[in-house]
């Protein structure tokens, strides 16, 4: 069997893709699917056929409105609806020391992220590293895109 530069290159690329594939897919982490009955729907974001209902705990809302830190154990839930049907859930959860699970360059304080299917099972095909990357851009806002809407929340979801 003759080994050529071309076959070595192919082998290297295939190995790289296998390694990369393992790194960019979601993994089980500390985020658990929340008890939705304990969530407070504070805002809705609409984009074409997509409607996102975003909720968190009463304690998180009160902390933010009182300019206090968001407590550990807080979960934010984005319920992603497409054409009126639940498509997936995106859950962001904060826990004491959870940031230590990640490299300092990708860490989002003590927040971790997970995507769930409508049946509340983890979607292992989603890349939660992308979630961390986008939310890192919101560092000055506590890693939240809709945190400002919580300040305006008075019991009716802010749109």
Mean pLDDT confidence for 29-36: 91
> Is 144 a domain residue?
yes
Residue 56 included in any domain: yes
Q: What is the pLDDT of residue 60?
A: 96
CA atoms of 88 and 121, how far apart (whole Å): 10
- Predicted TM-score (pTM) of the model is 0.77
User: What's the structural domain count of the chain?
Assistant: 1
Residue 75, in any domain of the structure: yes
Query: Which residues form the domain of 54?
Result: 28-152
pLDDT, one tens digit per residue, over 39-64 is: 999 999 999 999 999 999 999 999 99
Angle at 42 between CA 26 and CA 113, to 5 degrees: 15
Q: Is residue 78 part of a domain?
A: yes
Kindly state whether residue 69 falls inside one of the protein's structural domains. Answer: yes
Please indicate, yes or no, if residue 159 is contained in any of the structural domains: no
Q: Which two tokens stand for residue 102?
A: 């990640």
Contact between 59 and 46 under an 8 Å Cβ cutoff? The reply is no
Residue 39: give its domain's CATH number.
3.50.70
H or E element that contains 17: helix 5-24
Using left for φ > 0, alpha for ψ between -120 and 50, and beta otherwise, residue 105 falls in alpha
* Mean pLDDT score, 122-130: 81
């Amino acid at each position: 069997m003759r080994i050529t530069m071309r076959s070595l290159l192919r082998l290297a690329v295939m190995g790289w893709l296998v390694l990369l594939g393992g790194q960019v897919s979601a993994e089980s982490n500390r985020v658990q699917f929340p008890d939705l009955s304990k969530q407070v729907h504070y805002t809705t974001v609409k984009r074409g056929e997509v409607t996102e209902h975003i909720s968190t705990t009463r304690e998180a809302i009160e902390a933010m409105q009182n300019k206090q830190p968001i407590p550990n154990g807080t979960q934010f839930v984005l319920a992603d609806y497409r054409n009126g049907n639940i498509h997936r859930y995106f859950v962001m959860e904060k826990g004491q020391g959870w940031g230590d699970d990640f490299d300092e360059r990708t860490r989002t304080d003590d927040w971790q992220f997970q995507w769930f299917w409508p049946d509340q099972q983890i979607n292992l095909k989603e890349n939660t590293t992308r979630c961390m990357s986008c939310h890192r851009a919101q560092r000055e806002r506590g890693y939240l895109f809709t945190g400002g809407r919580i300040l305006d929340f008075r019991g009716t979801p802010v749109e």
